[in-house]
Amino acid sequence: MRPNLPPFQERAGAALRDKTLKLAIDRTTGTAERNRAVAVAAWPEFQSARDLGRDIRAHVVNNIDHYLVEFERNAVASGAAVHWAATADEACQIVVEICRKAGAKSVTRSKSMLGEEIGLPHALEAAKIERVETDLAEHIIQLAGDPPSHIVWPALHKTREQVKELFAASHRDPGAMEDVEAMVQAARRELRAKFMAADVGISGANFLVADTGSVCTVTNEGNAELTTTPPRVHIVTAGIEKLVPSTAHAMALLRLLVRSATGAELTQYTTFHTGPKRPGDRDGPDEFHIVLVDNGRTKMLGDGLAEMLRCIRCGACLNHCVVYRHIGGHAYGGTYPGPMGSVLTPSLDGLPASRDLAHACTLNGSCQEVCPVKIPLPTLLRGWRDRSWREGLEPRSVRRALWAWKFVATRPALYRAVSAFAVLGMQLFAKRGWIESMPLAGGWTAHRGLPAPASSTFMQQYQARKRAAK
Protein backbone atom coordinates (compact mmCIF):
# COMPACT_ATOMS: atom_id res chain seq x y z
CA MET A 1 0.00 0.00 0.00
CA ARG A 2 1.14 3.56 -0.61
CA PRO A 3 2.32 5.16 2.65
CA ASN A 4 0.19 7.53 4.76
CA LEU A 5 -3.11 6.74 3.12
CA PRO A 6 -6.39 7.72 4.78
CA PRO A 7 -8.74 4.78 5.50
CA PHE A 8 -10.31 3.03 2.51
CA GLN A 9 -13.79 4.44 3.23
CA GLU A 10 -12.41 7.97 2.95
CA ARG A 11 -10.45 7.20 -0.20
CA ALA A 12 -13.50 5.65 -1.85
CA GLY A 13 -15.70 8.54 -0.68
CA ALA A 14 -13.34 11.11 -2.16
CA ALA A 15 -13.23 9.21 -5.46
CA LEU A 16 -17.03 9.00 -5.60
CA ARG A 17 -17.36 12.76 -5.13
CA ASP A 18 -14.89 13.45 -7.98
CA LYS A 19 -17.08 13.86 -11.06
CA THR A 20 -14.15 14.43 -13.45
CA LEU A 21 -12.70 11.11 -12.34
CA LYS A 22 -15.96 9.32 -13.08
CA LEU A 23 -15.97 10.84 -16.55
CA ALA A 24 -12.37 9.79 -17.19
CA ILE A 25 -12.96 6.23 -15.97
CA ASP A 26 -16.09 5.86 -18.08
CA ARG A 27 -14.40 7.06 -21.26
CA THR A 28 -11.66 4.41 -21.20
CA THR A 29 -13.33 1.44 -19.51
CA GLY A 30 -16.45 1.94 -21.65
CA THR A 31 -14.42 1.79 -24.86
CA ALA A 32 -12.43 -1.21 -23.61
CA GLU A 33 -15.59 -3.08 -22.65
CA ARG A 34 -17.21 -2.48 -26.04
CA ASN A 35 -14.09 -3.40 -28.02
CA ARG A 36 -13.59 -6.58 -26.07
CA ALA A 37 -17.23 -7.57 -26.62
CA VAL A 38 -16.82 -7.17 -30.39
CA ALA A 39 -13.58 -9.20 -30.43
CA VAL A 40 -15.09 -11.99 -28.36
CA ALA A 41 -18.27 -12.10 -30.48
CA ALA A 42 -16.11 -12.65 -33.57
CA TRP A 43 -14.40 -15.64 -31.97
CA PRO A 44 -16.72 -18.64 -31.56
CA GLU A 45 -13.92 -20.65 -29.97
CA PHE A 46 -13.39 -18.08 -27.23
CA GLN A 47 -14.61 -20.31 -24.40
CA SER A 48 -12.41 -23.18 -25.46
CA ALA A 49 -9.51 -20.74 -25.80
CA ARG A 50 -10.12 -19.65 -22.20
CA ASP A 51 -9.97 -23.26 -21.08
CA LEU A 52 -6.69 -23.58 -22.91
CA GLY A 53 -5.40 -20.37 -21.33
CA ARG A 54 -6.34 -21.61 -17.89
CA ASP A 55 -4.71 -25.00 -18.54
CA ILE A 56 -1.45 -23.54 -19.84
CA ARG A 57 -1.11 -21.14 -16.94
CA ALA A 58 -2.09 -23.78 -14.36
CA HIS A 59 0.45 -26.19 -15.86
CA VAL A 60 3.20 -23.57 -15.50
CA VAL A 61 2.25 -22.66 -11.94
CA ASN A 62 2.20 -26.35 -10.96
CA ASN A 63 5.69 -26.82 -12.41
CA ILE A 64 7.17 -23.43 -11.72
CA ASP A 65 10.37 -24.83 -10.19
CA HIS A 66 11.05 -26.83 -13.35
CA TYR A 67 10.35 -23.94 -15.72
CA LEU A 68 12.43 -21.44 -13.76
CA VAL A 69 15.48 -23.66 -14.06
CA GLU A 70 14.83 -24.40 -17.74
CA PHE A 71 14.36 -20.71 -18.52
CA GLU A 72 17.52 -19.75 -16.65
CA ARG A 73 19.58 -22.37 -18.49
CA ASN A 74 18.42 -21.23 -21.93
CA ALA A 75 18.63 -17.52 -21.16
CA VAL A 76 22.21 -17.91 -19.92
CA ALA A 77 23.06 -19.94 -23.02
CA SER A 78 21.83 -17.03 -25.16
CA GLY A 79 24.21 -14.67 -23.37
CA ALA A 80 21.81 -13.16 -20.83
CA ALA A 81 22.73 -12.63 -17.18
CA VAL A 82 19.99 -14.01 -14.93
CA HIS A 83 19.54 -12.60 -11.40
CA TRP A 84 17.17 -13.83 -8.71
CA ALA A 85 15.46 -11.54 -6.22
CA ALA A 86 13.45 -12.90 -3.30
CA THR A 87 12.11 -9.49 -2.28
CA ALA A 88 11.21 -6.15 -3.84
CA ASP A 89 14.18 -4.47 -2.16
CA GLU A 90 16.59 -7.05 -3.45
CA ALA A 91 15.25 -6.62 -6.98
CA CYS A 92 15.69 -2.85 -6.81
CA GLN A 93 19.22 -3.21 -5.46
CA ILE A 94 20.15 -5.52 -8.33
CA VAL A 95 18.78 -3.09 -10.92
CA VAL A 96 20.41 -0.03 -9.35
CA GLU A 97 23.71 -1.88 -9.07
CA ILE A 98 23.65 -2.81 -12.79
CA CYS A 99 22.89 0.83 -13.63
CA ARG A 100 25.77 2.04 -11.44
CA LYS A 101 28.21 -0.40 -13.00
CA ALA A 102 27.14 0.82 -16.42
CA GLY A 103 27.75 4.39 -15.25
CA ALA A 104 24.15 5.19 -16.14
CA LYS A 105 22.97 8.77 -15.91
CA SER A 106 19.72 8.27 -17.75
CA VAL A 107 17.41 5.28 -17.86
CA THR A 108 14.42 4.78 -20.14
CA ARG A 109 11.64 2.57 -18.90
CA SER A 110 8.86 0.84 -20.76
CA LYS A 111 5.76 0.28 -18.67
CA SER A 112 5.95 -2.61 -16.25
CA MET A 113 3.55 -3.20 -13.38
CA LEU A 114 6.17 -5.34 -11.70
CA GLY A 115 8.49 -2.33 -11.67
CA GLU A 116 5.75 -0.40 -9.86
CA GLU A 117 5.17 -3.30 -7.48
CA ILE A 118 8.80 -3.41 -6.38
CA GLY A 119 9.08 0.39 -6.15
CA LEU A 120 11.69 0.71 -8.90
CA PRO A 121 10.83 4.34 -9.78
CA HIS A 122 11.67 5.38 -6.20
CA ALA A 123 14.81 3.28 -6.09
CA LEU A 124 16.12 4.94 -9.27
CA GLU A 125 15.26 8.34 -7.90
CA ALA A 126 17.07 7.58 -4.64
CA ALA A 127 20.11 6.52 -6.69
CA LYS A 128 19.92 9.86 -8.53
CA ILE A 129 19.46 8.25 -11.92
CA GLU A 130 17.24 10.12 -14.35
CA ARG A 131 14.19 7.99 -15.14
CA VAL A 132 12.34 8.56 -18.38
CA GLU A 133 8.99 6.79 -18.66
CA THR A 134 8.34 6.11 -22.33
CA ASP A 135 4.87 4.60 -22.45
CA LEU A 136 2.55 7.53 -23.15
CA ALA A 137 0.40 6.87 -20.10
CA GLU A 138 3.42 6.41 -17.85
CA HIS A 139 4.85 9.64 -19.27
CA ILE A 140 1.61 11.42 -18.32
CA ILE A 141 1.58 10.13 -14.76
CA GLN A 142 5.30 10.76 -14.33
CA LEU A 143 4.65 14.41 -15.20
CA ALA A 144 1.65 14.47 -12.87
CA GLY A 145 3.49 12.68 -10.06
CA ASP A 146 0.65 10.15 -9.82
CA PRO A 147 0.78 6.39 -9.28
CA PRO A 148 -0.83 4.28 -12.06
CA SER A 149 -4.59 3.83 -11.74
CA HIS A 150 -5.02 0.87 -14.11
CA ILE A 151 -2.71 -1.98 -15.11
CA VAL A 152 -3.18 -1.44 -18.87
CA TRP A 153 -4.05 2.30 -18.94
CA PRO A 154 -2.08 3.78 -16.03
CA ALA A 155 -3.27 7.33 -16.82
CA LEU A 156 -6.91 6.38 -17.21
CA HIS A 157 -7.85 8.84 -14.45
CA LYS A 158 -6.72 11.79 -16.58
CA THR A 159 -9.04 13.46 -19.08
CA ARG A 160 -7.64 14.86 -22.33
CA GLU A 161 -8.08 18.36 -20.93
CA GLN A 162 -5.84 17.48 -17.98
CA VAL A 163 -3.23 15.87 -20.26
CA LYS A 164 -3.13 19.00 -22.38
CA GLU A 165 -2.42 21.15 -19.32
CA LEU A 166 0.35 18.83 -18.15
CA PHE A 167 2.09 18.78 -21.53
CA ALA A 168 1.76 22.53 -21.95
CA ALA A 169 3.43 23.04 -18.59
CA SER A 170 6.34 20.62 -19.05
CA HIS A 171 7.15 19.87 -22.71
CA ARG A 172 9.87 21.84 -24.47
CA ASP A 173 7.82 22.04 -27.67
CA PRO A 174 4.20 21.19 -26.88
CA GLY A 175 2.62 22.91 -29.90
CA ALA A 176 -1.05 23.90 -29.90
CA MET A 177 -2.39 20.45 -28.92
CA GLU A 178 -5.82 21.12 -30.37
CA ASP A 179 -6.75 17.41 -30.24
CA VAL A 180 -5.59 14.07 -28.84
CA GLU A 181 -3.60 13.38 -32.04
CA ALA A 182 -1.57 16.52 -31.48
CA MET A 183 -0.96 15.60 -27.84
CA VAL A 184 0.40 12.21 -28.92
CA GLN A 185 2.69 13.98 -31.41
CA ALA A 186 3.89 16.31 -28.67
CA ALA A 187 4.92 13.32 -26.53
CA ARG A 188 6.59 11.69 -29.55
CA ARG A 189 8.75 14.79 -30.11
CA GLU A 190 9.52 15.14 -26.42
CA LEU A 191 10.67 11.55 -25.92
CA ARG A 192 12.45 10.76 -29.18
CA ALA A 193 15.86 12.17 -28.25
CA LYS A 194 15.66 10.63 -24.77
CA PHE A 195 15.25 7.15 -26.22
CA MET A 196 18.49 7.51 -28.14
CA ALA A 197 20.45 9.12 -25.28
CA ALA A 198 19.66 6.63 -22.51
CA ASP A 199 22.42 4.46 -21.03
CA VAL A 200 20.11 1.72 -19.78
CA GLY A 201 16.66 0.59 -20.90
CA ILE A 202 14.40 -1.22 -18.44
CA SER A 203 11.39 -3.27 -19.49
CA GLY A 204 9.06 -5.76 -17.91
CA ALA A 205 8.04 -9.06 -19.49
CA ASN A 206 4.68 -10.32 -20.63
CA PHE A 207 6.06 -13.84 -20.94
CA LEU A 208 9.31 -15.64 -20.18
CA VAL A 209 9.69 -18.45 -22.69
CA ALA A 210 11.31 -21.43 -20.97
CA ASP A 211 12.53 -23.43 -23.97
CA THR A 212 14.26 -20.52 -25.72
CA GLY A 213 15.18 -18.29 -22.78
CA SER A 214 13.39 -15.41 -24.52
CA VAL A 215 11.55 -12.51 -22.94
CA CYS A 216 8.32 -11.45 -24.68
CA THR A 217 7.07 -7.86 -24.48
CA VAL A 218 3.95 -6.41 -26.07
CA THR A 219 3.22 -2.73 -26.68
CA ASN A 220 1.00 -0.64 -28.92
CA GLU A 221 3.34 2.27 -29.22
CA GLY A 222 6.67 0.67 -30.04
CA ASN A 223 8.19 2.21 -26.94
CA ALA A 224 9.43 -1.11 -25.55
CA GLU A 225 11.75 -1.70 -28.51
CA LEU A 226 12.89 1.91 -28.52
CA THR A 227 13.65 1.46 -24.82
CA THR A 228 15.50 -1.84 -25.17
CA THR A 229 17.42 -1.41 -28.46
CA PRO A 230 19.49 1.81 -28.39
CA PRO A 231 20.96 1.72 -24.83
CA ARG A 232 24.08 -0.29 -24.01
CA VAL A 233 22.27 -2.24 -21.31
CA HIS A 234 18.80 -3.79 -21.27
CA ILE A 235 17.38 -4.91 -17.92
CA VAL A 236 14.21 -6.98 -17.67
CA THR A 237 12.36 -7.23 -14.39
CA ALA A 238 9.84 -10.04 -14.35
CA GLY A 239 7.70 -11.89 -11.84
CA ILE A 240 8.59 -15.58 -11.67
CA GLU A 241 5.04 -16.53 -12.66
CA LYS A 242 5.45 -15.06 -16.18
CA LEU A 243 6.85 -18.31 -17.54
CA VAL A 244 5.41 -20.27 -20.46
CA PRO A 245 6.73 -23.58 -21.76
CA SER A 246 7.34 -22.48 -25.37
CA THR A 247 6.74 -19.78 -27.97
CA ALA A 248 3.67 -21.67 -29.20
CA HIS A 249 2.16 -21.50 -25.71
CA ALA A 250 2.93 -17.79 -25.59
CA MET A 251 1.07 -17.35 -28.89
CA ALA A 252 -2.06 -19.07 -27.57
CA LEU A 253 -1.99 -16.76 -24.55
CA LEU A 254 -1.30 -13.64 -26.63
CA ARG A 255 -4.58 -14.17 -28.49
CA LEU A 256 -6.43 -14.11 -25.20
CA LEU A 257 -4.41 -11.34 -23.60
CA VAL A 258 -4.82 -8.79 -26.35
CA ARG A 259 -8.49 -9.39 -27.08
CA SER A 260 -9.30 -9.28 -23.38
CA ALA A 261 -7.31 -6.10 -22.83
CA THR A 262 -8.06 -3.85 -25.81
CA GLY A 263 -10.22 -5.88 -28.18
CA ALA A 264 -7.46 -5.93 -30.82
CA GLU A 265 -6.31 -9.26 -32.20
CA LEU A 266 -2.65 -8.68 -31.63
CA THR A 267 -0.81 -5.76 -30.13
CA GLN A 268 1.10 -3.69 -32.71
CA TYR A 269 4.50 -4.82 -31.41
CA THR A 270 5.06 -8.29 -30.01
CA THR A 271 8.77 -8.86 -29.48
CA PHE A 272 10.81 -11.81 -28.30
CA HIS A 273 14.16 -10.65 -26.85
CA THR A 274 16.87 -13.31 -26.64
CA GLY A 275 20.26 -12.34 -25.25
CA PRO A 276 22.45 -9.33 -26.10
CA LYS A 277 23.73 -7.93 -29.39
CA ARG A 278 25.27 -10.50 -31.76
CA PRO A 279 28.46 -10.11 -33.77
CA GLY A 280 27.80 -7.79 -36.69
CA ASP A 281 24.51 -6.42 -35.29
CA ARG A 282 24.19 -2.69 -35.86
CA ASP A 283 21.95 -2.16 -32.86
CA GLY A 284 20.89 -3.88 -29.66
CA PRO A 285 22.28 -3.87 -26.11
CA ASP A 286 25.77 -5.14 -25.20
CA GLU A 287 24.43 -6.46 -21.91
CA PHE A 288 21.11 -8.20 -21.33
CA HIS A 289 20.04 -8.75 -17.71
CA ILE A 290 16.95 -10.56 -16.48
CA VAL A 291 15.88 -10.13 -12.86
CA LEU A 292 13.49 -12.87 -11.74
CA VAL A 293 11.41 -11.54 -8.87
CA ASP A 294 9.57 -13.62 -6.29
CA ASN A 295 8.29 -10.91 -3.90
CA GLY A 296 5.64 -13.08 -2.28
CA ARG A 297 4.76 -15.30 -5.23
CA THR A 298 6.05 -18.56 -3.77
CA LYS A 299 4.18 -17.65 -0.60
CA MET A 300 0.96 -17.22 -2.60
CA LEU A 301 1.58 -20.62 -4.11
CA GLY A 302 1.65 -22.24 -0.68
CA ASP A 303 -1.13 -20.05 0.72
CA GLY A 304 -4.01 -21.24 -1.44
CA LEU A 305 -3.56 -18.45 -3.99
CA ALA A 306 -1.97 -20.54 -6.75
CA GLU A 307 -4.90 -19.72 -9.05
CA MET A 308 -4.06 -16.02 -8.84
CA LEU A 309 -0.61 -16.71 -10.25
CA ARG A 310 -2.32 -17.58 -13.55
CA CYS A 311 -3.07 -13.87 -14.08
CA ILE A 312 -1.75 -12.44 -17.37
CA ARG A 313 -2.51 -8.80 -16.39
CA CYS A 314 -5.04 -8.10 -19.13
CA GLY A 315 -7.10 -5.68 -17.05
CA ALA A 316 -10.48 -7.05 -18.20
CA CYS A 317 -11.59 -7.68 -14.61
CA LEU A 318 -10.99 -3.98 -13.83
CA ASN A 319 -12.93 -2.75 -16.86
CA HIS A 320 -15.91 -4.93 -15.97
CA CYS A 321 -15.95 -4.27 -12.23
CA VAL A 322 -18.79 -2.06 -10.95
CA VAL A 323 -16.69 -0.97 -7.99
CA TYR A 324 -13.60 -0.09 -10.03
CA ARG A 325 -15.74 1.87 -12.46
CA HIS A 326 -17.04 4.02 -9.65
CA ILE A 327 -13.94 4.62 -7.59
CA GLY A 328 -11.07 4.14 -10.08
CA GLY A 329 -7.67 2.71 -9.26
CA HIS A 330 -6.14 5.05 -6.70
CA ALA A 331 -8.73 4.42 -3.99
CA TYR A 332 -7.57 0.81 -3.76
CA GLY A 333 -4.26 2.05 -2.36
CA GLY A 334 -2.02 -0.76 -3.69
CA THR A 335 -0.08 -1.23 -6.92
CA TYR A 336 -2.80 -3.37 -8.49
CA PRO A 337 -6.41 -2.15 -8.39
CA GLY A 338 -9.75 -3.75 -9.15
CA PRO A 339 -10.65 -7.37 -8.53
CA MET A 340 -7.20 -8.81 -9.26
CA GLY A 341 -5.66 -6.11 -7.09
CA SER A 342 -8.00 -6.85 -4.21
CA VAL A 343 -6.74 -10.44 -4.27
CA LEU A 344 -3.06 -9.52 -4.72
CA THR A 345 -2.73 -6.55 -2.35
CA PRO A 346 -3.42 -8.41 0.92
CA SER A 347 -0.76 -10.89 -0.09
CA LEU A 348 1.77 -8.22 -1.12
CA ASP A 349 1.11 -5.63 1.56
CA GLY A 350 -0.47 -7.58 4.39
CA LEU A 351 -4.11 -8.22 5.24
CA PRO A 352 -4.35 -5.80 8.21
CA ALA A 353 -3.71 -2.78 5.95
CA SER A 354 -5.92 -4.00 3.11
CA ARG A 355 -8.77 -6.02 4.60
CA ASP A 356 -11.32 -3.49 3.32
CA LEU A 357 -10.56 -4.40 -0.30
CA ALA A 358 -12.10 -7.86 -0.07
CA HIS A 359 -15.23 -6.26 1.36
CA ALA A 360 -15.44 -3.59 -1.35
CA CYS A 361 -16.83 -6.16 -3.74
CA THR A 362 -20.41 -6.99 -4.69
CA LEU A 363 -19.44 -10.57 -5.61
CA ASN A 364 -21.46 -10.15 -8.80
CA GLY A 365 -19.00 -12.42 -10.59
CA SER A 366 -18.37 -10.29 -13.72
CA CYS A 367 -14.62 -10.44 -13.20
CA GLN A 368 -14.55 -14.20 -13.23
CA GLU A 369 -16.75 -14.29 -16.33
CA VAL A 370 -14.38 -12.12 -18.37
CA CYS A 371 -11.08 -13.43 -17.02
CA PRO A 372 -9.24 -15.07 -19.96
CA VAL A 373 -7.58 -17.62 -17.67
CA LYS A 374 -10.70 -18.25 -15.58
CA ILE A 375 -9.39 -17.15 -12.20
CA PRO A 376 -12.16 -17.59 -9.60
CA LEU A 377 -11.69 -14.04 -8.28
CA PRO A 378 -14.87 -13.91 -6.14
CA THR A 379 -13.89 -17.15 -4.41
CA LEU A 380 -10.40 -15.84 -3.70
CA LEU A 381 -11.88 -12.60 -2.34
CA ARG A 382 -14.21 -14.55 -0.08
CA GLY A 383 -11.13 -16.42 1.11
CA TRP A 384 -9.62 -13.12 2.28
CA ARG A 385 -12.87 -12.16 4.06
CA ASP A 386 -12.86 -15.46 5.81
CA ARG A 387 -9.24 -15.08 6.82
CA SER A 388 -9.76 -11.55 8.04
CA TRP A 389 -12.55 -12.85 10.30
CA ARG A 390 -10.51 -15.77 11.58
CA GLU A 391 -7.49 -13.59 12.28
CA GLY A 392 -9.66 -11.18 14.27
CA LEU A 393 -9.02 -8.27 11.92
CA GLU A 394 -12.66 -7.30 11.52
CA PRO A 395 -13.51 -4.25 13.67
CA ARG A 396 -15.59 -4.76 16.75
CA SER A 397 -18.62 -3.01 15.23
CA VAL A 398 -18.69 -5.54 12.38
CA ARG A 399 -18.29 -8.49 14.72
CA ARG A 400 -21.10 -7.19 16.95
CA ALA A 401 -23.42 -6.56 14.03
CA LEU A 402 -22.81 -10.07 12.72
CA TRP A 403 -23.42 -11.63 16.10
CA ALA A 404 -26.66 -9.66 16.39
CA TRP A 405 -27.69 -10.79 12.92
CA LYS A 406 -26.87 -14.40 13.79
CA PHE A 407 -28.90 -14.12 17.00
CA VAL A 408 -31.95 -12.93 15.05
CA ALA A 409 -31.48 -15.15 12.01
CA THR A 410 -31.38 -18.35 14.04
CA ARG A 411 -34.71 -17.48 15.70
CA PRO A 412 -37.35 -17.56 12.92
CA ALA A 413 -40.18 -15.91 14.83
CA LEU A 414 -37.97 -13.06 15.96
CA TYR A 415 -36.50 -12.73 12.45
CA ARG A 416 -39.98 -12.38 10.92
CA ALA A 417 -41.02 -9.77 13.47
CA VAL A 418 -37.86 -7.71 12.98
CA SER A 419 -37.99 -7.84 9.18
CA ALA A 420 -41.71 -6.89 9.14
CA PHE A 421 -40.87 -3.91 11.32
CA ALA A 422 -37.92 -2.93 9.12
CA VAL A 423 -40.03 -3.10 5.96
CA LEU A 424 -42.60 -0.78 7.51
CA GLY A 425 -39.90 1.60 8.64
CA MET A 426 -38.23 1.70 5.22
CA GLN A 427 -41.56 2.43 3.51
CA LEU A 428 -41.64 5.75 5.35
CA PHE A 429 -38.56 6.92 3.45
CA ALA A 430 -39.43 5.56 0.00
CA LYS A 431 -40.38 7.85 -2.86
CA ARG A 432 -41.44 6.32 -6.19
CA GLY A 433 -39.85 3.01 -5.41
CA TRP A 434 -36.47 4.41 -4.26
CA ILE A 435 -35.01 5.51 -0.95
CA GLU A 436 -32.78 8.56 -1.43
CA SER A 437 -31.91 9.02 2.24
CA MET A 438 -32.65 7.23 5.49
CA PRO A 439 -31.11 7.28 8.97
CA LEU A 440 -28.19 4.83 9.35
CA ALA A 441 -28.08 4.27 5.57
CA GLY A 442 -26.08 7.35 4.59
CA GLY A 443 -23.11 5.24 3.58
CA TRP A 444 -25.26 3.73 0.88
CA THR A 445 -27.56 6.57 -0.13
CA ALA A 446 -24.90 9.29 -0.38
CA HIS A 447 -23.92 8.07 -3.85
CA ARG A 448 -26.89 5.99 -5.05
CA GLY A 449 -30.53 5.17 -4.33
CA LEU A 450 -31.68 2.11 -2.41
CA PRO A 451 -34.57 0.20 -3.98
CA ALA A 452 -37.59 0.40 -1.67
CA PRO A 453 -38.69 -2.96 -0.28
CA ALA A 454 -42.01 -4.56 -1.23
CA SER A 455 -45.00 -3.57 0.88
CA SER A 456 -44.73 -6.71 3.02
CA THR A 457 -42.05 -9.34 3.68
CA PHE A 458 -41.64 -12.53 1.71
CA MET A 459 -43.03 -14.63 4.58
CA GLN A 460 -46.08 -12.36 4.93
CA GLN A 461 -46.82 -12.67 1.21
CA TYR A 462 -46.22 -16.42 1.29
CA GLN A 463 -48.64 -16.90 4.19
CA ALA A 464 -51.24 -14.69 2.54
CA ARG A 465 -51.07 -16.69 -0.70
CA LYS A 466 -51.30 -19.96 1.18
CA ARG A 467 -54.44 -18.72 2.93
CA ALA A 468 -55.96 -17.53 -0.34
CA ALA A 469 -55.26 -20.87 -2.02
CA LYS A 470 -57.19 -22.81 0.62
Partner 1 sequence: MSRERILAAARAALGRTAPPDAAAIRAEAATLLAGPDRGRPPRTGTLTERFIERLTHPKVGGTVEQVAMLTDLPRAVRAYLSTNALPARIAVQPEPRLQALDWSGIATHDGVATDEILAVALADCGIAESGSLVFHSAPTSPTLFSFLPLHHIVALDTSKLLEWLEDYATAYTAAGQAQPRNVNIITGASGTTDIEGRLVRGAHGPGFLHVVLFGG
Of 301-320, binders to ligand SF4 (CB under 6 A) are 311-317
Q: What are phi and psi of 334, to 5 degrees?
A: -100, -170
Q: How far apart are the first and last CA of the chain?
A: 62
Name every residue whose Cβ is closer than 8 Å to that of residue 149 and which is 6 or more positions away in sequence. Answer: 141, 155, 156, 157, 328, 329, 330, 337
Q: Which of 274, 153, 287 is nearest to 208 (CA)?
A: 274
| C-alpha triplet 259, 117, 362: angle, nearest 5° | 60
In the list partner 1, ligand SF4, none, the entry touching 315 (Cβ below 5 to 8 angstroms by class) is ligand SF4
Closest CB 165 distance from ligand SF4, rounded Å: 31
DSSP-derived letter for residue 379 is H
Instruction: Check binding of 239 to partner 1 (CB under 8 A).
Output: no
| The binder of partner 1 chosen from 66, 73, 105, 447 (CB under 8 A) | 66
Stretch touching partner 1 by CB under 8 A, among 25-33, 323-331, 360-368, 411-419: 25-33
Instruction: Restricting to residues 29-48, name those near partner 1 by CB under 8 A.
Output: 29-32, 42-46, 48
Cα dihedral 175/181/187/193 (nearest 10): -90
Applying CB under 8 A, among 2, 7, 10, 65 the residue interacting with partner 1 is 65
As measured in angstroms, the least distance from the Cβ of 125 to partner 1 is 23
- The interface mask with partner 1, positions 268-307, x = CB under 8 A, is xxxxxxxxxxxxxxxxx-------x-x---xx-xx---x-
Q: Which of residues 85-114 bind ligand SF4 (CB under 6 A)?
A: none
309: partner contacted, choices partner 1, ligand SF4, none (Cβ within 5-8 A by kind): none
278: number of Cβ within 10 Å: 10
Three state DSSP letters for 182-209: HHHHHHHHHHHHHHHHCCEEEECCCEEE
Q: Which is nearer to partner 1, 90 or 356 (CB)?
A: 90
253 in contact with ligand SF4 (CB under 6 A): no
Nearer to partner 1, 243 or 435 (CB): 243
Q: What is the CA angle 389-391-396, rounded to 5? A: 55
Instruction: Report how far residue 329's alpha carbon sits from residue 332's, in angstroms, rounded to the nearest whole number.
Output: 6
Beta bridge partners of 132: 108
Question: What ranges make up the beta strands (E) of 349-441?
Answer: 430-431, 434-435
| 190, interface contact from partner 1, ligand SF4, none, CB < 5-8 Å by kind | none
Q: Which does 457 bind (CB under 5 to 8 A by kind): partner 1, ligand SF4, none?
A: none
- Positions in 339-398 near ligand SF4 (CB under 6 A): 340, 370-373, 375
- Say whether residue 239 binds ligand SF4 (CB under 6 A): no
Q: Which does 373 bind (CB under 5 to 8 A by kind): ligand SF4, partner 1, none?
A: ligand SF4
- Euclidean distance between CA atoms 218 and 368, whole angstroms: 24
Residue 238 engages ligand SF4 in binding (rule: CB under 6 A): no
Binding string, residues 99-138; x marks residues near partner 1 by CB under 8 A = -----------------------------------xxxx-
User: Out of 12, 21, 64, 92, which residue is the one contacting partner 1 (CB under 8 A)?
Assistant: 64
Which residue, 11 or 313, is less far from ligand SF4 as judged by CB? Answer: 313
- If the CB atoms of residues 298 and 427 are measured against partner 1, the closer one turns out to be 298
Q: In 204-354, where do the E strands start and end?
A: 207-209, 214-219, 233-239, 243-244, 269-273, 287-293
Q: Which of 376, 372, 318, 317 is nearest to 45 (CA)?
A: 372
Contacts with ligand SF4 by CB under 6 A lie at 311-317, 340, 370-373, 375
